[in-house]
Structure 1
Amino acid sequence: MKWLVSLVGAGLVMITLRDLFHTLWHPTRHGGLSRLVMTALWRLARRFRARRLVGLVGPLAMVTVVGMWTGTVIIGWAIVYWPHMPEAFTFSPGSEAAREPALLDSVYLSLVVVATLGLGDIAPGEGWLRLVSPLEALVGFALLTATVSWVLEIYPALTRRRVLAIRLALLRDADPTTRQIDCTAGAVLLDSLATEVVRVRIDFTQYSEAYYFHDGDDHSSLAAMVGHAAVLAERGQAAGRPEVRLAGDLLAGALNDLAATLDQRFLHTGGPPADVFAAYAADHGRGRAQP
């Protein structure tokens, strides 16, 4: 029975590590704990039309997910220790820990080990526990490293998305005609926009959590500006120069790919790109994508 309880705790730890792996290094279409938490918070904020809360969904959800990962690892390892407490552990002379309930001592030991504090008032005595405890410390270190990596990966992705949105806003204000785009500079412009759209599409695939970060005002909101990229693609496709038409086709293809990714992972409209971008704009409180 003791080993069965310990296996339950080990299972909790493995589930957490699996979720962390799929969130950071092998994101899937269906997502894991992070996607569930962020989707729930996003829908809750949108339902109550809490604009300030919508802007905080991304950061709050990341904090919540990291807290749940940490809590589950601590509880899981405490369950591993619990059936073997206190007979399989040694206590420092004069320590009051041995007089505490076994579950409390197990949680305390798990906290100390996962934080790599090494206080030493409770130490594993049996051989297998002396191997397991350092393993928990390694998991705690990996969890800290993964959290920092997650933050450092998400925010550059947000920057790329917002830079593209501001660039599209500037182009919308300049409003270049088909004749103005029909030149070598126009082909370079459309090609560079296609490259940026592809990067954003990859970001939505690799860092799906970035979708639930609100971009703020219209000029930095891709949801509000992506419609103008489609307008520029159409103008490029209608140009006379073959290189401009090719660049327009590339931009249109990149936008179609972006729409497919948004629809498969987040929106589920089943419609054409124009409907997907309209749903994207509405989901981010922008009404519709601006042409």
Structure 2
Amino acid sequence: MFRTLLWLPGTLLVVAVLLDLIVTCIQTGEGRLSRAVHQPLYTLLRLTARWTGRRSLLSWSTPVLITGTLTAWTLLTWVGWTLIFWSQPGALLGAESGQPATLIATFYFVGYTISTLGLGEIIAPQPFWRVMTDVAAINGFFLLTFAITFVVPVAQVRTERRELALLLHRAGPGAQQLILNATHDHDRGLNSLVGDLHPLLNRLDAAHLNSPYLHRFHDHDRQDALDLHLPALGEALMIIQGALAGDCPRGLGRALASVDSLSRTFERTQARHPVLRAGEVPPAPDLQPLRDAGLELRSEEDFQKYLRPHAALRARLHAMARAGEWRWDQAATPVADA
């Protein structure tokens, strides 16, 4: 009696994976199943990196999370269809022996069916189960297609993340060094820091809105680390807008809006992680290096007044740097090896 009801949990597993595939690969966001796989794996990886003192372990987040997600989708689909076929005695027979398939044989049959191999060593004698075999094969084809849809965009976006991080690394590093280098070493001045980066920022913002789990992916080298250089850029843009005298560069508001949007998707992705401590705003930047470089600044009082409504954004950027195991002074100070 219990065996004949196994088709119900099996169907639920298959449908759950299909819904998760659709949400994660097509719709904007992250499926519940994918999130349930990502969070423990990511937490374990972070704890291991912190316990061993090796930040480089975080760079394994991409292969670990992708492999974990694909494995979960495949295994749950495999188990689901196994339960469906096993729920009916005699649904599957050995092609040569004509004997009902055992549980292990059913598991084997489902494996080569959803992989679309179709070996034919086990057959479904009844029309209904023949149709279900076709449905399982189609399900396996969808699983493979969605897996490719999941992996390929991740690789593309990671290339763009590294491109932006490398541009900022060479233009900085550090928020104030970004400002100083743009002011003194570029023929377009601060416009080079704002206008040139806006298209890439906009593409990354759209990609992270569509796939927020990208914020869990980290890079090994400092020059590639978006979780270090994006906070530096955000801090630099706020200094330009709130502290520098004179007109703001064109496109500054749009660039800062993209940084703000990226920080908000980070917050939604990492909301349950202890790295995101509510209200932990980094200290106000010391603008003396900019004064020493001859830049004209507004009064300290005016700058502090500007920073107050941006406290939440600065807290998110601070949390982003901490998520990558970076110190805030590495993002904020103008010294490369701070």
Q: TM-score range by the shorter chain?
A: 0.7 to 0.9
Deviation at 1:175, TM superposition (A): 4.2
Give the corresponding residue for 2:99: 98
The separation in 2 between residues aligned to 1:165 and 1:182, in whole angstroms, is 18
Aligned-residue offset at 1:100: 5.7
Aligned to 1:191: 195
Q: Please name the residue that 2:322 is paired with.
A: 282
Runs of 5+ unmatched residues, structure 2: 280-311, 333-338
Conserved 8 A contact 2:89-2:100: no
Contact 1:46 1:54 in 2 (8 A): yes
Cα contact 1:34–1:61 (8 A) shared by 2: no
Residue identity matched to 1:122? I
Alpha-carbon distance change, 269 to 196 in structure 1, aligned in 2, over 3 angstroms = farther
Q: 1:111 to 1:180 in 2, by over 3 A?
A: same
* Equivalent residue, structure 1, for 2:283: none
CA displacement 1:92-116 (0-9 Å, x = unmatched)? 23x3x72763x22321221121122
- Distance in 1, matches of 2:245 and 2:134, equals 65
- Kept in 1, the 8 Å contact 2:168–2:229? The answer is yes
Aligned partner letter, 2:317 = F
Name the residue aligned to 1:10: 11
Q: Please, what TM-score do these two structures have when normalized by structure 2?
A: 0.74
- Residue 84 of structure 2: which of 80, 84, 107 is its match? 80
CA distance in 1, matches of 2:25, 2:129: 29
- Map of 1:23 onto structure 2: 24
TM-score when normalising by structure 1: 0.85
Q: Is the 8 A contact 1:6 1:80 kept in 2?
A: yes
Who is 1:204 aligned against? 208
Change (3 A) 1:106 1:233: same
Tell me whether 1:225 sits opposite 2:265 in the alignment: no
Residues 118 and 233 (structure 1), Cα distance of their counterparts in 2 relative to 1, 3 Å cut: same
Deviations 1:211-232 (A, max 9, x none): 2222122211111112331344
| Residue type at the aligned position of 1:44 | L
Task: Report Cα offsets for 1:157-178 as digits up to 9, x if no partner.
Answer: 1111111111111221574448
* 2:294 aligned partner: none
Any conservation in 2 of the 1:181–1:236 contact (CA below 8 Å)? no
Identity across the alignment (%) = 24
Residues of 1 paired with 2:179 and 2:65: CA distance?
Answer: 40
For residues 204 and 131 of structure 1, the distance between their equivalents in structure 2, rounded to whole angstroms, comes to 40
Structure 1: which 5+ runs fail to align? Answer: none
More helix, by proportion:
1
Aligned equivalents of 2:81 and 2:189: distance in 1?
A: 61
Say if 1:191 and 1:250, in contact at 8 Å, map to a contact too: no
Q: CA RMSD in A?
A: 2.7
116 and 179 in structure 1: CA distance in 2 versus 1, 3 angstrom threshold: closer
Q: Report how far residue 286 of structure 1 moved.
A: 0.9
Separation in 2 of the partners of 1:4 and 1:290? 57
Equivalences for residues 148-167 of structure 1 within 5 A: 148-167=148-167
User: What secondary structure sits across from 1:84 in the alignment?
Assistant: coil
Alignment partner for residue 214 of structure 1, among 211, 214, 218?
Answer: 218
Partner of 1:135: 135
Distance in 2 between the 1:264 and 1:181 partners?
37
